[in-house]
Structure 1
Amino acid sequence: MSKWFSNKFSWLGMLVASFIAVSFVFCILPAFKHMPTNTQNLPIVIVNQDNQQISDKVADGLKDNLPFKHISTSSSLSRTKHRIELRKASLAVVIPDGFNKDVRAGKRPTVNFVVNNANSMVQTNVNQGLISRIQSTVNAQLTQQSLVGMYAKQLAPKMMKTAMATGMKTAMQKAMTASKGQAVNQKQIQKQVQAKVQPKIQKQVMARATKMAAPFNITAKSSTDTMGTKQVNMQHQMAPMFISMGQYLGLMIASIIITMTFMSVRFIAGKWKTFLGLQVTGVITAVVLALLTVGALRCLVSFDGGVFNALLWQNVLYDFAAFELTSGLALLFGGLPSLLIQLPLFVLQIMAGGGTLPRAAMTSFYKFLSQTTPMYQNIYSSYNIMANLGNTGAFQQTLWWVALGGLVIGSLAVWIGYRGKERRGLAAVIPTKF
Structure 2
Amino acid sequence: MDQLKIALVNEDAGETGIQIAKQLSESLPFEIESDYSNEKALQKLEDNKIALLIHIPENFSASAQKGESAEINFTVNEASATMVSSSMSTIVKEINQQLSTSFSTQTAQGILMNMNVPEEQAAAMAQQIENAYVGNYVIINDVPDGMHNSMLPMFLTMACYVGAMIASMQLVQVYKHNRGKASRFKLFGYVQLSALIIAIVSTIFALIVAYLITDLDTAVMLKVAGQQVLLYMAAFNVCAIFTFLIGEAGMIINIPILLSQTIANGATIPREMMYGYYEVVSYITPMYHSVNSYFAVMFGSTDASPFVWGLVAVGVGALIINLLVVTVLHRKEPAPRSIIQ
Give the alignment's TM-score, normalised by structure 2: 0.88
- The superposition leaves residues 56-98 of structure 1 with CA deviations (integer Å, 9 ceiling, x where unpaired) of 11111111122x2311214511111111111110011111121
- The superposition leaves residues 341-371 of structure 1 with CA deviations (integer Å, 9 ceiling, x where unpaired) of 2111111000000112222211122112112
**What is the distance in 2 between the residues matched to 1:407 and 1:48?**
50
Match of 2:225 in 1: 312
**What is the distance in 1 between the residues matched to 2:97 and 2:34?**
19
In 1, are the aligned partners of 2:179 and 2:333 still within 8 Å (CA)? no
**What is the distance in 2 between the residues matched to 1:230 and 1:96?**
27
What amino acid sits opposite 1:60 in the alignment?
K
**What is the distance in 1 between the residues matched to 2:230 and 2:138?**
32
In 2, are the aligned partners of 1:62 and 1:137 still within 8 Å (CA)? no
Indicate whether 1:48 and 2:10 are aligned: yes
TM superposition shift of 1:114: 1.1
CA 106–378 in structure 1, closer or farther in 2 if over 3 Å, else same: same
In 1, are the aligned partners of 2:72 and 2:136 still within 8 Å (CA)? yes
**What is the distance in 2 between the residues matched to 1:433 and 1:262?**
21
Indicate whether 1:322 and 2:235 are aligned: yes
Match of 1:127 in 2: 88
What amino acid sits opposite 2:174 in the alignment?
T
Q: Matched residue pairs, number?
A: 325
Match of 1:77 in 2: 38
SS at match of 2:50: coil
Residue correspondence of structure 1 range 321-400 to structure 2 within 5 A: 321-333=234-246, 335-400=247-312
Residue correspondence of structure 1 range 129-144 to structure 2 within 5 A: 129-142=90-103
SS at match of 1:41: coil
- Segment of structure 1 superposing worse, 413-422 or 292-301: 413-422
**What is the distance in 2 between the residues matched to 1:322 and 1:309?**
20
SS at match of 1:268: coil
What amino acid sits opposite 2:80 in the alignment?
N
TM superposition shift of 1:217: 7.3
Indicate whether 1:412 and 2:332 are aligned: no
How well do the aligned residues superpose, as a CA RMSD in angstroms?
Answer: 2.5
SS at match of 1:110: strand
Match of 2:168 in 1: 255
TM superposition shift of 1:235: 1.9
What amino acid sits opposite 1:361 in the alignment?
M
Match of 2:122 in 1: none
**What is the distance in 2 between the residues matched to 1:69 and 1:433?**
72
**What is the distance in 2 between the residues matched to 1:227 and 1:115?**
6
Question: Which of 153, 157, 179 matches 1:266?
Answer: 179
What amino acid sits opposite 1:266 in the alignment?
R
In 2, are the aligned partners of 1:236 and 1:386 still within 8 Å (CA)? no
CA 245–61 in structure 1, closer or farther in 2 if over 3 Å, else same: same
In 2, are the aligned partners of 1:103 and 1:146 still within 8 Å (CA)? no
TM superposition shift of 1:330: 1.7
TM superposition shift of 1:137: 3.6
TM superposition shift of 1:291: 2.4
Indicate whether 1:61 and 2:23 are aligned: yes
**What is the distance in 2 between the residues matched to 1:433 and 1:414?**
29
**What is the distance in 2 between the residues matched to 1:144 and 1:372?**
54
**What is the distance in 2 between the residues matched to 1:138 and 1:62?**
10
Question: Which of 114, 129, 133 matches 1:220?
Answer: 133
What amino acid sits opposite 2:22 in the alignment?
D
What amino acid sits opposite 2:298 in the alignment?
M
Indicate whether 1:234 and 2:147 are aligned: yes
In 2, are the aligned partners of 1:43 and 1:89 still within 8 Å (CA)? yes
Match of 2:119 in 1: none
TM superposition shift of 1:233: 2.5
What amino acid sits opposite 2:53 in the alignment?
A
SS at match of 1:93: strand
**What is the distance in 2 between the residues matched to 1:397 and 1:233?**
30
Match of 1:193 in 2: none
CA 357–423 in structure 1, closer or farther in 2 if over 3 Å, else same: farther
Match of 2:197 in 1: 284
Query: Structure 2: which 5+ residue stretches go unaligned?
Result: 115-128
Residue correspondence of structure 1 range 153-164 to structure 2 within 5 A: none
**What is the distance in 2 between the residues matched to 1:145 and 1:396?**
52
Task: Report percent identity of matched pairs.
Answer: 25
What amino acid sits opposite 2:42 in the alignment?
K
Query: Structure 1: which 5+ residue stretches go unaligned?
Result: 1-38, 156-215, 425-431
- The superposition leaves residues 240-294 of structure 1 with CA deviations (integer Å, 9 ceiling, x where unpaired) of 1111111101100110100000001122122111111011112222222222212
Match of 2:208 in 1: 295
